[in-house]
Amino acid sequence: MISDSPFAPYLGTNYCPSDEEVLKLNAFLSTALCLPTVEAHRALLSPARRLPLDVLQEIFVACMPSHRNCVMSAQETPVLLGRICSSWRDISLSTPRLWSRLHIAEPQDRESLSLKFAQRFENIKMWLGRSGECPLSISLYSDFQNRYLYRWSLVHALLPFTSRWQHIHFTTSPAMLKAVSHLTESDVPLLQTVKFHHDYRHNTSQHEDLALRQFGLLRSTRISNFSARENYFIDQTLPLLWHRLTVLEILPSPMRLLTSEKIIPIISRCPELRVCKLGVYHDGSAEQSSSHLVRVELKHLHTLEVNCQTVEIIISRLLRRLLLPQLLSLSLRGPSYGEHSPSLASLLARWQLEDLEISSDGFSKPSLLGGLRSLPDTMKRLVIHNVVLEMHNCFLISDAALLRLITSRMESASKLKRVQVTFTREMTVDILPPLQPFIKNGLDISVVHTSTQRFPVHFSPWEGLSDPSRF
């Protein structure tokens, strides 16, 4: 019987027997006849119980999400593994790398803010306090529209850990970013990645109030990855060590400030770029003659992403001025409005690409088909966009404008299959009745006006993640 076993106190627990006890267990099992008794004792011999500490720690770290930071949730690896048993909890708490990556989403409503701020402030300090001396990867997302958020901002909870910041991604208002404006390069000796993003609903004056050129932390000698909106690049006075950048992302904004002519001087200062992501506009100026064009060689660039207004302008004014001998991945997103569609085949002939993303309306049908026929043997991935139109939080588009857009696309050769739009305002025009003929022919459409919904707002710690997938 189980009660007669010398190991009875340990059965059904997470006890790990010693080497001597393992020998006794095997001897006991050789004489045990009752199946439940055998199974209960064999559980004590489970290999997982006897894994060395360093191996278990590596397994724990391997369970962390690879594409994002962890959120403060019981469903995330550091907390979840610590709830399996007391020994695993001890291992989790004594493994600093598990706590070195954190995503913080600030509460959106005033009630949650006032009631939970102190608790979340302490939770952040406790989480990061468990990270020992590990370099930190931190992403922060806050509600842009609540002006009272500044004094509550959880940015302040991160300031005691600046000496270990390695990768920071702050998506918040310009006013809240000022909380880190006093930092100098000596405060952030490990800093490699800086991403300062904010919602472009903020007006120009707010942009001007945030003078990134005065942010001393941008002088850190280790920064190799920088991302911000285009308005911060106009005067080219950011205190970055441009020659050290390997990743540069210039996000577009409604102000449409950066043209090809303005981007060329910026990227020419970054000879070590490996990845470059650009939002580019066309200002309508006349094109310069080929003899006057300044060309830029980026010897190490392997990934280029361009979002633009007009594909043919970008090809003629930007891409043909770039010498990219190592380019492997190209994303060119935007329509073509000119009479003469650019030649996709000629564009592809310049590189041995492995990855290509284009818009279906960026090239004429003959050009697109010709380009597809000439794809190099090196091609591993091809994505053609614009079959689906998705827009969220549309505050600059009217219902009537959306109706015109959908109607024109449905009457063109490249018809939409699905439209998903979210407006952050009341409905002004019901666009569904005029679209019924298209809906009957298969158009899948969803139009939501969030201000008309009466559902309570629930705070999610995953808010602000580009990929909210939890596993």
CATH number, domain of 216, equals 3.80.10
Please indicate, yes or no, if residue 464 is contained in any of the structural domains: no
In whole angstroms, give the CA distance from residue 28 to residue 404: 81
Of 385, 409, 436, the residue at which a domain comes to its end is 385
Q: What is the pLDDT of residues 353-409, one digit of tens each?
A: 999 999 877 888 888 888 888 888 999 999 887 656 666 656 678 888 889 888 888
Please report the DSSP string for 32-77 in residue order. Answer: ---HHHHHHHHHHT-GGGG--HHHHHHHHHHTS-SSS--BSSTTSH
The number of folded domains in the chain is: 3
The reply to whether 23 and 88 lie within a common domain is: no
CB 161 within 8 A of CB 195: no
Same domain? For 290 and 341 the reply is yes
Cα separation of the two ends of the chain: 43
Q: What is the pLDDT of residue 85?
A: 83
| Residue 208 covered by a domain | yes
Say if 114 falls within a structural domain: yes
Query: With contact defined as beta carbons under 8 Å apart, do 283 and 259 qualify?
Result: yes
- Cα 460 to chain center, whole Å? 17
* 49 burial level (CB within 10 Å; 0-12, 13-18, 19+): middle
Mean pLDDT per segment of 10 residues, for the chain of length 471 residues? Answer: 64 71 74 65 72 91 92 91 89 96 79 67 92 96 60 81 97 84 96 86 48 90 94 81 96 75 91 94 58 83 90 84 95 77 86 91 84 90 73 72 87 77 84 91 86 53 63 33
38 and 72 in a single domain? The answer is no
pLDDT at 189: 97
| Listed residue (280, 167, 182) closest to 224, CA to CA | 167
Could you tell me if 415 and 302 lie in one domain? Answer: no
- The rounded Cα 355 to chain-centroid distance in angstroms is 19
Q: How many CB atoms are closer than 10 A to CB 304?
A: 23
Q: How much is the pLDDT for 316?
A: 81
Burial zone of 467 (CB within 10 Å; 0-12 exposed, 13-18 middle, 19+ buried): exposed
Residue 205: inside a domain:
yes
Q: Same structural domain for residues 343 and 407?
A: no
For residue 28 the two structure tokens come to 């006991």
Same domain, 380 and 392: no
Given 356, 385, 414, which residue is the final one in a domain? 385
pLDDT reported for residue 369: 87
Domain end marker among 385, 420, 443 = 385
Find the radius of gyration of the CA atoms of the chain: 28
Residue 463 domain flag: no
Phi, psi of 250 (to 5 degrees): -110, 105
Report the pLDDT value the prediction gives residue 470, as an integer from 0 to 100: 40
Structural domain range at position 78:
53-385
Asked if residue 240 and residue 355 are part of one domain, the reply reads yes
The amino acid present at 122, given as its one-letter code, is E
Q: How far is CA 422 from the centre of its chain?
A: 21
- Verify that 30 and 140 share a domain, yes or no: no
The residue type of 190 is L
| Domain-embedded: residue 459 | no
| Residue 118 confidence (pLDDT) | 76
CA dihedral 220, 224, 229, 232 (to 10 degrees): 40
- Partner residues linked to 333 by β-bridges: 307
Span 61-77, pLDDT tens digits: 999 998 899 999 888 99
250 and 306 housed in the same domain: yes
Considering the domain architecture, whether residues 74 and 90 belong to the same structural domain is answered as: yes
Residue from 120, 137, 175, 179 nearest 155 by CA:
179
Same domain, 75 and 12: no
Does residue 31 belong to any structural domain of this protein?
yes
Whether residue 42 sits in one domain with residue 172:
no
With respect to residue 204, please indicate whether it lies within any of the assigned structural domains: yes
Percent of the chain whose predicted confidence (pLDDT) is above 70: 77
